[in-house]
Amino acid sequence: MIVKNRKKAVFNWSGGKDSSLALYKVLQQDEFEVIALLTTVNEETELSSMHAIPHALLEKQAASIGIPLYPVFLPKNLPVYEQRMLDAAHHFKAQGVEHFIFGDIYLSDVRKYREDRLHPLGIEVVEPIWNLNSTEVMQDFLDSGIQTKIIVTDASKLDESFIGQDIDANLIERMPSEVDVCGENGEYHTFAYAGGLFKHPVEFEIAETRQMSYEFKLEDGEEKTFHYWQAIFAE
């Protein structure tokens, strides 16, 4: 009998569909031993930095998957963000982890940022769904059986009727043609809760939908306001 030595890895978990699909593929291939789901949480709101998912629901996702959650609590201060993420990387490196896995598809600048910070520590960046086209990724997602709901939309691209909807073939047909089917341009974000890699459904309820906005400055100094619809989870 041949015993396969799997490589220790940490999966960087957002709680959404791409993250779920990437982890699902990793668990199927059995090349890595995923020892933790690393996620970032706003220490003031206790919502995830990525999709504003409550920390308690991230814990429920991890429990259903069967891999411990490792939350990194972050303030809005960017230098502190960098240090705490570095601390987390050192923590796992000391446990023999040499691979950090992500669920990105296209964002090459984000990938480079991660590689620039992790490679000097001897940690390799792994991207299971990298550079696949959106249609292929979406078909893989639908085939996986993972169930996920839209919880955030760019208000200029998708209206509030999409909040709380499950991603399926019918919903994809409803999306405007200019919207990337996987939401890779920030058109929407999701919450995965059942099927595929989940051993049992994650129980949750969306209490309401709110229109939110934030202001930001472009490199040329121009100020812009971004409007989005967001699901508010029941406590």
Identify whether the C-beta of residue 88 lies closer than 8 Å to the C-beta of residue 40. Answer: no
Model pTM score = 0.93
Question: What is the per-residue burial (b if ≥16 Cβ within 10 Å, else e) of 149-173?
Answer: bbbbbbbebbeeebbebebeeeeee
Give one word for 145, left, alpha or beta, with left for phi > 0 and alpha for psi -120 to 50: left
Identify whether the C-beta of residue 22 lies closer than 8 Å to the C-beta of residue 103. Answer: yes
* CATH topology for the 7-126 domain: Rossmann fold (3.40.50)
Please write the tens of the pLDDT for every residue from 59-111.
999 999 999 999 999 987 667 888 899 999 999 999 999 999 999 887 778 88
For the chain, strand residue ranges (E) read 7-12, 32-42, 69-74, 99-101, 124-126, 147-154, 188-194, 206-217, 223-233
Please write the tens of the pLDDT for every residue from 31-54.
999 999 999 999 999 999 888 999
Apex 168 CA angle, 164 and 170, nearest 5 = 100
Of 180, 130, 191, whose CA–CA distance to 157 is shortest? 180
Within 8 A by CB and 6+ apart from 55, the residues are 41, 46, 47, 48, 71
